[in-house]
Structure formats: structure tokens, C-alpha cells
Chains A and B, each alone.
Chain A
Amino acid sequence: MQQVFKRPQSLKDVQTHFCPGCHHGTIHRLVADAMDLYGVQDRTIGVASVGCSVFLYGYFDIDVVEAPHGRAPAVATGVKRARPDSFVFTYQGDGDLAAIGTAEIIHAANRGEDITVVFVNNTTYGMTGGQMAPTTLVGQKTSTSPYGRDKSKDGSPIRMAELMAQLGGVAYSARVAVDSPKHVLEAKKVMREAFGYQAQGKGFSFVEVLSACPTNWGMNPLKANARIGEEMIPYFPLGVFKKEEA
């Protein structure tokens, strides 16, 4: 009998702590799949950020450095410059990357650091209990936007993948979603492509992943999943925004 599906080698054989319907587990798997593809588990140093994903060292069987809130791209810069032979990625949420860590992500990207950034956009601060994020959609109600995000006061949600594509140091920038088998397969391809840029030493790669936070959205997993296609993708279009040729 042929085995057609198994746990990636880069993931530990443990259960995650994530809420039912949360997509971190799926995204972890996609990252591990890409690491396995290039056989880099043994020389990978992951940089964990502040948020629900801080515990990634509990799930990935790799060396990990924990970064202060928003600072993962700067920490990853220090790691990669000191150990250029290592494979370095950050895994950050939208509050971490697009609010408190804006300076760090813009400048690590602009310097063209040879790292990969996985950016999980679920339009809210998950770990702190569902507050308004820089990616929260206009009109979306959160615990700190009880009347809905007001564009005139709170601004518009930031489209990070497009913004990254404008920077000279960025080799690859894309946005994917993980709300359907089709999208997950596309995301897998994109994640592999992004990690491939680093594997070949081609520079900074960025993958934004639209994902669900059913707990803080106040939805069951099915409804939360549906919201990605109905509300998020129309504002955050999927696609590859920059792909530098070798």
C-alpha cells in the first residue's frame, strides 16, 4: 500500500493548542512542507513573534528564537547576518507585523535580507482577545471597534503584500488564503516558491496568508471559513504581486 499523506518531518508529533477552526495549524503544515521540500530543517532558525503563534517552537522541530512584539524581522536580520548558511523565517500576525512592527518589516524587506516572512492576516489581534488590527475591515466590529471600524477615524486596512511588492529589496511577495482545498493547494505552491527564493539565496520573500479566527470573530468555524471568501478576498485579492526573475 502506498502512503499518500503524512506529517511533514519538520513538524513534531504533538497536538496544537489552537482554537477549533483556527488556521494556524494548516499554515504551520504548509511552512513545514516547504522546509521539507528543500531539506533545510537541520539548518533552519525560526523566529517566533508575539501572538498566538509564539509557541511555534512547540510544533516545529527546529531551532527557534523568540522576538519581542513586532521585532521578528530585525531579529531574523541579526540571525541571518551572523549565520548566512542558515535558513531563516519569521512567522508573524497582523498586529505584530503591520502595526507595532511596521518599521522592522519595511526595512528588513527594503534591505533585501535573505529571509522568508510568513504573515498571517486574520483581521484581528487573536491572542489579546480580538481587538482592532491594522487589517480589520471597514465596518468590522471588534472589542476595540464596537461600532465597526470607521475609515474616517481608524483608516483603511493595510494591504501588506502589495506594499511589500513596492520595495526594491523584495524578491517575492504574494497573498494566499487557506479557506478551501483549492486555496490550500495554491498556498502550498506559493509557500514552496517563497521558501525557494531563500533556498537559492535570491533575497527577501513574503507570503501573506488570509486566515480565520472563529473565536474572536464570534463565528463557528464554517461561518468563519466562509467569511474569508465573502469579505476578506474582495478587499485583499489573492495573487503574486512580485516575482523577481533569477
Chain B
Amino acid sequence: MSKRLFVKGNEAAAMGAVEAGCRYYFGYPITPQSDIPEYLSRELPPLNGEFIQAESEIGAINMLLGASATGARAMTSSSSPGISLKQEGISYMAGAELPGVIINISRSGPGLGGIDASQSDYFQCVKGGGHGGYHIPVLAPNSVQEMYDLTMHAFDLADLYRTPVMLLGDSVIGQMKEALIPNPRPVRELPAKGWAVRGKSGAEQRVVKSLFLGDGELEAHNWHLHAKYQVMKEKECISEEYETADARLIVAGFGSVSRIAHTAVTMARAEGMKVGLFRPVTLFPFPEQALAQAAARAGKVLVVELNTGQMVEDVRLSVGAAAQVSFYGRPPGAGSLPSPEELLEVIRKNYEETAR
């Protein structure tokens, strides 16, 4: 039996990275994710790995680009303003089809904003973020256990699809301590990295690049990337459902707020309301089909987010005319995290409207 640990979400992600075989980390201090570089600065050198505290977020993402280009498993982490700076490098990595894991323990904005739990960077993470119309898989853990498990999964997805992968959490998920069972990394068959630079060694030259100037080259490259996104949509969607089978109202939320919504749904059930919870675990690819099915059964979806309405757009696209969609948001800031009672009240109101 695996041991049971009591650790922070940020530490769990760093542990997951080490278990996944990541030996190269490049980062820059920013709250609320600094436990990750602190942990890895301690743990990687004894494993013959490399830790660099970079001169900037831009430096860190480009070190990741370089290490990934050699085929090594490598990672960086940051928080919202730092992720903004990394967008250039993420776009280049997406264009050059380089794997790599980016952990984003997001904070509130815009600008310097604050350090409170926030989901205001859904658009930035899920809709591309940098220039060039690309997507990267975005995973949204809602527990310390998932910080560990999904970080390992992120490395596999990155290698399988040759893409940067982002783990999106916030201070609630990154800073809270919970029980963690550090299971060994699941074995997944992955393609050989025949594209990685290594020094020619007498073989064919390898070039890792995102510049395509030949007639039709870049268009073909973009369709190739698009085709990968379609495969991800088919194969890589993850979502979790709670009490949705007979629900008349589905509450939809991801990450930290889904934990609060889970409690609120349980309280609503105790009051006899047929309410369920739908939690997207992958934000890209968005679990459109699973949500559409649950929503069609229920007839109504209440989206709850720690922002003024972002994921709700993907929910509306997913359910179409099959269900009514309403939204409840708390933009980030000190004291803005909703309580289960607050969400229960919103559920009551929405449930009563469906009963009418």
C-alpha cells in the first residue's frame, strides 16, 4: 500500500513532476506558486537534475523550450502576470510542437491585481493566450491528489501530442494541505522523440523551428495542428459528475470553486432538490459531449466561476439549445470567495425557476 502524505497542492505538483521523470525545472519567484521552485531547487540536484532560477519568466520559458528541444522532460511554473510574460515562448513551443509542462497557480487581476483565488485567466489559458491561433491542453485539478496525478498526466499528454500542457490552479488548490497518496506514475505508451536535437551524430540534421516561409507550408502546418486538436477533443476530455443522473439543475464549475459547489449541491440534495454537479477537468479540450448529455437531461445549467463569466461561453456552445444556461460569478479579490451557503441560495433560486 502506498504511503499517505499530508502536503500542499504546490508540493504535490512538484512531486508529480519528479515522479513523471522531469529533471529540469526553470522558474521565477511569484506568489502563490513559489513552493514549486523551492521544492524542486532542493529535490532536483540530488537526482542529477538541473534547477535554474531564471532572470525572468521569459528566460524561464525559453530555457524550457531549449531543454524540451533535446527531448528531456522539463517544466516551469508561475502565476498569472508571469504567465502573461511566458505567452511568447508558449506560442513558439506550440508552433515548433515542443512538449513541456507549465503550472499556472493563477491569481487575480487585471494588472497586479491580488493574490486571491481566481479564475479570471480561463480565457488566457484556454483560448490560446499568445499569438498565432494555437491551443494547448489545460488541466484543472481541484484537490492536492489531482495536483499530483494530473501533473504526471500533463507530461504524458505533452509527449503524446508534442505540445506544451498547462495545469491551471489557484491559491486555494496550490496552498491548501490535504492527504496525498503518491501512487507511481501510470505507464503509458509514448512515441519515440525522433525529432529531438542531440547533435547530428552522423545522422540526418534535425531542426526544431516554427518559421515556415515556403509556399503553402504554414497553412499546412496550421491544419496539422488543428487536426491534433480534433484528436484531443475526441480522446482526451476528462470530466467528473456528481448526482447528475436525475438532476433537474446542473451546477457547472471547475477547479477551486467546484469544491465549494460540491458542498452546496450536497446541501441542496439534503433539502430535496434534484441538483447535480458537472466539473470539467480538462478545460481544453472542453468536455462538450459529456456536458451536453447531462445538460439535455436536466434542462438547465448554472455555471459558477470566480470571474464575471468566461467558461460559461464554452458551456453555452456545448449545450446549444438543449438547455437553459445561467451564470453566477464572483470576480476575484480579498473576501470574494463564495461560501457553500451563498451558492446554495443561488441554487435554490435557479431551481425554483426550473420548477415553475
Contact = CB atoms under 8 A, between A and B. Distances in A.
Given A42-B201, A71-B59, 19 more contacts: A41-B200, A45-B70, A45-B197, A54-B211, A62-B200, A63-B205, A66-B211, A67-B66, A71-B89, A74-B60, A78-B64, A79-B66, A79-B67, A81-B50, A82-B74, A103-B55, A103-B59, A106-B55, A111-B52
Nearest to B209: A66
A63 B199 contact: yes
B85 to A, nearest CB: 11
Nearest to A12: B205
A169 B200 CA distance: 29
Interface in B49-106: 50, 52, 54-56, 58-60, 62-70, 72, 74, 88-89, 92, 96
Interface string A40-73: 0111110110000010010001111111100100
B66 A82 contact: yes
Contacts of A71: 58-59, 62, 65, 89
B59 A65 contact: no
A32 interface: no
29 contacts: A45-B69, A45-B198, A48-B209, A61-B200, A62-B199, A62-B200, A62-B205, A63-B198, A63-B206, A64-B208, A65-B69, A66-B211, A67-B66, A67-B92, A68-B88, A68-B92, A71-B65, A74-B58, A75-B66, A77-B52, A78-B26, A78-B64, A78-B70, A79-B66, A79-B67, A79-B70, A81-B63, A82-B66, A86-B70
Nearest to A63: B197
A83 B70 contact: yes
Interface of B: 24, 26, 50, 52, 54-56, 58-60, 62-70, 72, 74, 88-89, 92, 96, 197-202, 205-211
A127 to B, nearest CB: 12
A87 interface: yes
Contacts of B56: 103
A68 B89 contact: yes
A82 B62 contact: no
Contacts of A74: 54, 58-60, 62-63, 65-66
Contacts, number: 138
B205 A67 contact: no
A67 B70 contact: no
A76 interface: yes
A82 B24 CA distance: 7
A120 B58 CA distance: 23
A107 interface: yes
Contact of B70 (A62, A66, A82): A82
Nearest to A80: B66
Interface string A144-184: 00000000000000000000000000000000000000000
Interface of A: 41-45, 47-48, 54, 57, 61-68, 71, 74-83, 85-87, 103-104, 106-107, 111
B15 to A, nearest CB: 21
A119 to B, nearest CB: 18
A203 B52 CA distance: 17
Contacts of B200: 41-44, 61-63
Contacts of B96: 66
Contacts of A42: 199-202
Contacts of A107: 54-55, 59
A103 to B, nearest CB: 5
A83 B198 contact: yes
Contact of B66 (A44, A47, A63): A47
Given A66-B207, A68-B89, A86 B63 contact: no
Contacts of B209: 48, 57, 64-66
Contact of B62 (A62, A67, A85): A67
A87 B70 CA distance: 13
Contacts of A87: 199
A86 B39 CA distance: 28
Contacts of B63: 74-75, 77-78, 81
A66 B89 CA distance: 11
A48 B65 CA distance: 13
Contacts of B69: 45, 65, 75, 78-79
B24 to A, nearest CB: 5
Nearest to A43: B199
Nearest to B98: A65
A57 B24 contact: no
A104 B58 CA distance: 9
Nearest to B95: A66
A75 B65 contact: yes
